[in-house]
Structure formats: C-alpha cells, structure tokens
C-alpha cells in the first residue's frame, strides 16, 4: 500500500514539474471529486443502551459541479453517496421474540445514504451584492430529508469587509423503528411491511450570520453565529435506555440477562435550540506560512456547553506544493437528560422516574482531541491538460488529509479524505 501511494505521489509531482502550458481561466467550469473514508470503534453504543460495540466504517464519495452561466449567475450541484457498515445497527432486532418476529425492521449492519443539493447564486453588476437559494434532498433506510434556503452576501467597495446572511430549513421524516424486543407491544407494533411503520417528523430552522474583515496586511478575522431551532422528533427510536432495576449485566455481548432488564426507547423533548458562536483568525507569518486559528462556544437548552479550539498551519513549500499540520480540541458538558447504562432511576411503580432519558454518549460530558495533517498540490497551470473537441480539461488540484480522533469515553476514529479538482 505504501509503495502504491509513493508511486502515485511521484507521478503527481512529475506532472506538476513538467507542465509548461497556459490555461484559460475565464468562465471556468469546475468539477470536484471527493472521497472520504472514516472508521471508528468504541464501547458505548446507544443502540444497546450505552454499552456494546460502536464499530463503524463509512465510505463517502462526493461530486461537486460548479457552472457559471455568465459573469453574474452561477450554479453548484452536489451529488453524494454514503455507504456505511455499523455493528450497532445490526442489533436493533437483537432480542426478537416469537411474538415480535413478524415485525422485523429493515435495518441492517449495512446501509446507504444518497443526497443531492443545488445552490444557485447571482451577483449584482457592481459585484458588491450576491444572493441565491439552495435546495436539497437525502434518503436512507429510516429517514427522508428535504432542505431549502436563501443566502445573501454584501461586500464593501474595497473588498476588505463582508457580511453574509443565510436562512435554511430541513424537514426530516423518520420511520419509527423500535428495538425488536418491544415491537410486539401495541404502542410499537409496526414494521413487517414498509408502509406499516409509524412515522414522525422534525423541522430544523437555521439562521446564520457571518462577518469577515481584513484588519491588516497580515491579519484577517471572521465572526460567525448560528441560531438553530428544532421541532419534532429529536430522539432516535431504536436507541435503548436501561434503568436501575437491580439486574447486573457484566458483558452485554454474552449475558442474556440484558433482555430481562427494564428498557425503554430513548425519549427526548420535542423542541430544542442551539447557538454556536465562532471566531476564525488567519495570520500570515510570512509569504510561505499561515497560522489559521479557530474558537467556538456552543450552548443549547439541553444544558450542553462546549468549547472548540483548532489550529492549522499551512506551509508553502514551493509554488505548487503546500503541507499543513492540524490540531483540534473539543470539550462539552453533559446534557441534563443523559445517564450511563443502568443509571436512570425508576419510581415505586417500576416506571421511569424522569420524563426524558438517553444513554447516547454523544450527549455525555466528553473531551475529544483530533490530530492530523495534509498536503495540497496546485500548480499555476494545473497538473495535466487534455485537449477536447471544444476546449480542454485541466487536472487542477489534488488535496489529501488524514486525521485521528481520541475521545475521553474511549471512542477512537480516523479519517482519510482526498479531493481531485478539474476545470474545463
């Protein structure tokens, strides 16, 4: 594998050094092919109540086509496919009984998400004002999602200041797929045929404001803030929550006493707001080195508070090659509805003592560290050029990035992203 990567890298470098032709840059149409591979493993799966394998592998190819109709109108189309395998999703039907077997879900350890997005932008003739709209759709085995929005940008005459506003809405329709062992109950009896599933929906509205300014020759800043309101289903119906009923489970993968433990599907409020506020600073240390820093503070009405710090330092090796290390630190407090496996209380009637409950460790108190780096090869005249009947196709840029993640609850992950950019 290392030999293949080395030969591929040397081929790219040789193309970059050998190019000796100009490229027409007016009215360029651009196509980006992005590939991302992500894998993780941990032992706090929400599907099995905050215990059990979180092993996940995801391959995400993405294509973005940007076409300028003229100097004022532009359209961008994104088509993507997410293919993943998940150990925990295969356990939705883990404790199927004779009574509930007729209500098997369509969930499995493998699934695919497809999505399609269109973004249209129009500039004013003086180029200081820009507006547009966007539409999107995605589909996976239990969720259909529709999105739409509008955005506008105002730029100062000296192009040193810019204000951007964006409003988007996402409508998600969920199939109510419950854990297999309770699907024979009248409240959860759906799923033998696709049309038998109960359904619920969620509406997410987001308003984003962004302001950027060039303060000095070497310093640029950007301030951004979102206000997000969600209404509808916020829990995942096949996430289990186990309660403090006295049963002891030493190993969730082998101990069948788990089926006797008091369990309910995850339950969360049907409304939520989120407010992230971010500051991005770019400082040019020299003509070859840029310091990119980012900080974000986040809060919501689930009582989660979080801080994010990140640093990226691109170093320009020569006119066509840049490399960069990256580091990110994230910490958050726990949601007020979270408790680990078996710690949510029961009342005297052996019913949940709390109105809302979850054992999803994404809502727990945690610290996440991310390390990685990447490179970007982008010669002035492209990596390679193919002559076409009505023009040319130029292999413009290749960029690759690798990152590894370490979370305080034991989850570990890594990702590899590659981007190929072409213009014609």
User: Domain range spanning residue 377?
Assistant: 2-423
CB 178 within 8 A of CB 237: yes
Question: Which pTM was predicted?
Answer: 0.86
Q: Give the model's pLDDT for residue 259.
A: 67
pLDDT tens digit sequence for 26-49: 468 999 999 999 999 999 999 989
Q: Report which DSSP code applies to 48.
A: G
CA angle 77-81-82, nearest 5°?
135
The number of folded domains in the chain is 1
Q: In the numeric block, which tokens belong to residue 277?
A: 């506020």
Tally the C-alpha atoms within 13 A of residue 307's C-alpha that lie toward its C-beta.
3
DSSP assignment of 131-196, as one string?
A: EEEEEEEEE-SSEEEEEEEEEEEEE-TTSSEEEEEEEEEEEEEEE----GGGTTSGGG---SSGGG
Neighbours of 342 (CB within 10 A): 21
Helix (H) or strand (E) holding 11: helix 2-18
pLDDT tens digit sequence for 130-164: 999 999 999 998 899 999 999 999 999 988 999 99
Give the three-state DSSP class for 64. strand
Q: Give the model's pLDDT for residue 252.
A: 57
Q: Give the model's pLDDT for residue 99.
A: 41
**CATH code, domain carrying 351:** 2.40.160
- Of the spans 189-198, 241-250, 331-340, which averages the highest pLDDT? 331-340
**Residue 25: which pLDDT band, with cuts at 50, 70 and 90?**
very low
Q: Between 21 and 191, where is the model more confident?
A: 191
Q: Give the model's pLDDT for residue 279.
A: 98
Q: In the numeric block, which tokens belong to residue 44?
A: 């706090």
| pLDDT over 90 percentage in the chain | 69
Cα 265 to chain center, whole Å?
A: 25
Cα 143 to chain center, whole Å?
A: 16
Give the three-state DSSP class for 81. strand
**Residue 21: which pLDDT band, with cuts at 50, 70 and 90?**
very low
Q: Mean of the per-residue pLDDT values for the chain? A: 87
- 303-335 burial by CB neighbour count: b if 16+ within 10 A, else e? ebebebebebbbebeeebbbebebebebebbbb
Is residue 83 exposed (0-12), middle (13-18) or buried (19+ Cβ within 10 Å)? middle
**Residue 264: which pLDDT band, with cuts at 50, 70 and 90?**
very high
CB 274 within 8 A of CB 298: yes
Query: What's the rounded Cα separation, in Å, for the pair 359 and 392?
Result: 55
CB 56 within 8 A of CB 86: yes
**Residue 256: which pLDDT band, with cuts at 50, 70 and 90?**
low
Helix and strand numbers (H, E) in the chain are 1, 20
What phi and psi, each to the nearest 5 degrees, are found at residue 69? -70, -35
Query: What's the rounded Cα separation, in Å, for the pair 163 and 159?
Result: 11
Q: In the numeric block, which tokens belong to residue 74?
A: 């532009």
């Amino acid at each position: 594998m290392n030999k293949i990567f080395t030969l591929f890298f040397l081929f790219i470098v040789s193309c970059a050094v050998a190019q000796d032709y100009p490229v027409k840059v007016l009215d360029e149409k651009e196509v980006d092919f992005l590939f991302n591979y992500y894998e993780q493993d941990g032992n706090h799966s929400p599907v099995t109540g905050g215990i059990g394998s979180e092993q996940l592998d995801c391959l995400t190819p993405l294509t973005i086509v940007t076409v300028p109709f003229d100097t004022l109108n532009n359209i961008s189309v994104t088509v993507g496919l997410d293919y993943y395998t998940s150990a925990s999703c295969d356990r939705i039907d883990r404790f199927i009984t004779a009574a509930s077997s007729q209500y098997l879900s369509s969930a499995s350890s493998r699934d695919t998400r497809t999505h399609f997005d269109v973004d249209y932008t129009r500039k004013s003739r003086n180029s200081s004002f820009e507006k547009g709209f966007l539409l999107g759709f995605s589909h996976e085995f239990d969720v259909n999602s529709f999105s739409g929005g509008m955005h506008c940008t105002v730029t100062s005459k000296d192009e040193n200041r810019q204000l951007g506003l964006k409003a988007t809405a996402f409508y998600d329709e969920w199939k109510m797929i419950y854990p297999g062992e309770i699907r024979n109950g009248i409240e959860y009896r759906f799923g033998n045929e696709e049309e038998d599933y109960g359904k619920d929906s969620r509406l997410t509205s987001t308003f984003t404001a962004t302001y950027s300014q060039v303060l000095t020759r070497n310093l640029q800043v950007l301030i951004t803030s979102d206000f997000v309101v969600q209404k509808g289903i916020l829990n995942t119906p096949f996430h289990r929550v186990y309660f403090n009923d006295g049963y002891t489970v030493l190993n969730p993968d082998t101990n069948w006493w788990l089926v006797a433990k008091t369990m309910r599907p995850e339950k969360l409020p049907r409304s939520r707001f989120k407010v992230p506020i971010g500051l991005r600073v770019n400082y040019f240390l020299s003509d070859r080195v840029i310091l990119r820093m980012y900080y974000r503070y986040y809060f919501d009405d689930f009582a989660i508070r979080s801080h994010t710090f990140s640093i990226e330092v691109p170093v320009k090796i020569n006119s066509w090659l840049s490399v960069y290390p990256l580091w990110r630190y994230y910490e958050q407090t726990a949601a007020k509805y979270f408790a680990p496996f078996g710690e949510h209380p029961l009342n005297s009637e052996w019913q949940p003592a709390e109105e809302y409950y979850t054992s999803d460790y994404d809502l727990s108190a945690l610290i996440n560290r991310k390390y990685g780096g990447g490179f970007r090869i982008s010669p002035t005249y492209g990596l390679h050029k193919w002559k076409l009947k009505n023009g040319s196709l130029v292999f413009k840029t290749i960029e690759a990035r690798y990152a590894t993640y370490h979370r305080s609850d034991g989850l570990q992950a890594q990702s590899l992203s590659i981007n190929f950019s072409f213009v014609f």
